[in-house]
Structure 1
Amino acid sequence: MKSSTFICAAVAGIVATGPVAALDLESVRTLLDPETFTALLEQAEHDEMSPLGMFMAADWVVKSVMLSLLLASILVWVIFLAKVMILRWERGVLRRRYRALDRAGSLNAAKDLFAKKKGVVSQMVQAALRERAATGDQPELKSGIKERAGSEIARIEAGAARRMGFGAGVLANVGSVAPFVGLFGTVWGIMNSFISISESNTTNLAIVAPGIAEALLATAIGLVAAIPAVIFYNILARGMGGYKVMLADAGALVERTLSRDLDLAPIKDATFDEAPVDKPVFRLGSVSTSAAE
């Protein structure tokens, strides 16, 4: 029982110090100190109107609401920071691969360049090369090659966009649900306050105020979790929108490069096959006649 009380005090201490202080290593070390737990507990016993005191004095339902909102807030920050770093990395890689393919000018030239590299552009190039090798370079099959390669490239784009969107739904859910969860804790706490008023047969504000304050704390924590979640979701939505545009540009470049290779292949072959051959010329005096004549 004592250890669980210490855990509750630590969690409530994080709530009292705020998410920014909770991310500070020095604050974490301080909160993990058992002597600090004891001091927080003593402070909660003497100051019922502090955030820690209100948490410790709250009903178990209200405590559960506060803890769930606290965990949701931490999850929101972790997802946002991770997605921002992943998105920046993927956009940088996509930009470099796009420029490399544009400089190569053809899929044959880019084949060795993208053979051992990972990434969306590499998958698109490999898909186009596989489709071309499986179908062949016959002129009558060019439209089919372009259509099938474009379909596979579109699926690669959709898969990359879907993978990048993982986790963003959590931010949307927290931003929309957290205020109502906090409101539920507030309603439950106020209900308990009215029950205590009826049982004590008094309307003294000093008796009613702590219970109402505990209830309102749940709504405050819900807003602390919901507001960053909404802001972070909007930021990630804009970033992922730009990433999807870059994916579409990369897919269009691969399709253009494939189409150019297919259109130029017959011309190069015809130029090589129909090159004029010099015929030997025999000169008889002032008259020149070719061997064919």
Structure 2
Amino acid sequence: MTPISFSPWEMFLTAGPVVRAVMTLLVVASLLTWTVFIAKSVEFFRLRLRLARAERVLTEANTLTLGEEWTRDYGGIAHNLVMAAAAERQQSQDILEDREGLKERIVLHLERLEAAEGRRLMRGTGLLATIGATSPFIGLFGTVWGIMTSFTGIAAAKATSLAVVAPGIAEALLATALGLVAAIPAVVIYNHLARQSASCRAQVADLTSLVMRLVSRDLSRMGLPLVTGQVVRFDARAVTAE
């Protein structure tokens, strides 16, 4: 008598079409989980490096114009923040006397950019949450269906020995095992990526603070009296003395 093989591959091949479809779906979900993990990990690693370099540049910059020039090569959110502040300042040339109002408008604009960047960072991770929440139930459905099929076959064959029951139940339980294999890494990876995203958002918030420091510094130069009694006037390109 040929011994029955209980390897996962053999059980997959001998399973019914519904259980086999459930197993295939869970394997695909697991592959998607690891694909998202690798892609987002590389994205976060590169982003953290760019944000760290941009933070050093904005720390060394003395004016918003210099900040715009020095972050131009980095692109991304750092340059967008500087450009947003410069654009708002340019559009408010006729009301620059209202410095507090200008700062408030710039802060509102930068907060919108921060929120958009936060949503972009979490893009794709919702799939992990869905996989982690639904995979155990999908696997359980495959198990229940497989056990129902096994008992139906037992009733039709009118045989109740363990040798007849065990293969069908083992195939059905494999679906539950695959559901857990897909769900557990998805939940762990989702939490890991959420922490990475929070770290990147904190760096973006630091960049916003640095941009606002440059804005405040430039606005203070507008009315700074010199020794000769002259006033430093700030324009869109540089700080000049007249």
TM-score (norm 1): 0.74
- Runs of 4+ aligned residues of structure 1 deviating over 4 Å after TM superposition are none
For 1:123, the aligned partner's letter is N
1:5-154 matches, cutoff 5 A? 47-136=4-93, 140-154=97-111
Matched, 1:274 2:229: yes
Matched, 1:224 2:160: no
Which structure has the higher relative contact order (CA within 8 Å, separation 6+)? 2
After TM superposition, give the deviation of residue 112 of structure 1 in Å: 2.2
Equivalent of 1:194 in 128, 141, 151: 151
User: Unaligned regions of 5+ residues in structure 2, if any?
Assistant: 231-242
User: Unaligned regions of 5+ residues in structure 1, if any?
Assistant: 1-44, 276-293
| Corresponding residue for residue 236 of structure 1 | 193
SS of the counterpart of 1:105?
coil
After TM superposition, give the deviation of residue 49 of structure 1 in Å: 1.9
How many residue pairs end up in the alignment? 229
Aligned-partner Cα distance in 2 for 1:116–1:230: 37
Matched, 1:159 2:116: yes
1:175-186 matches, cutoff 5 A? 175-186=132-143
Per-residue CA deviations over 1:83-119 (Å, capped at 9, x if unaligned) read 0110010011011001101101221222322345411
> Is the CA contact 1:47–1:53 (under 8 Å) kept in the aligned structure 2?
no
> Is the CA contact 2:136–2:183 (under 8 Å) kept in the aligned structure 1?
yes
Aligned-partner Cα distance in 1 for 2:72–2:13: 60
Q: 1:52 to 1:111 in 2, by over 3 A?
A: closer
Aligned-partner Cα distance in 2 for 1:114–1:207: 70
Aligned-partner Cα distance in 1 for 2:80–2:23: 46
Per-residue CA deviations over 1:25-76 (Å, capped at 9, x if unaligned) read xxxxxxxxxxxxxxxxxxxx97442211111111100000000000000000
For 1:271, the aligned partner's letter is L
After TM superposition, give the deviation of residue 140 of structure 1 in Å: 2.7
TM-score (norm 2): 0.89
- The percentage of aligned residue pairs carrying the same residue is 44
> Is the CA contact 1:135–1:145 (under 8 Å) kept in the aligned structure 2?
yes
SS of the counterpart of 2:139?
helix
Aligned-partner Cα distance in 1 for 2:73–2:55: 16
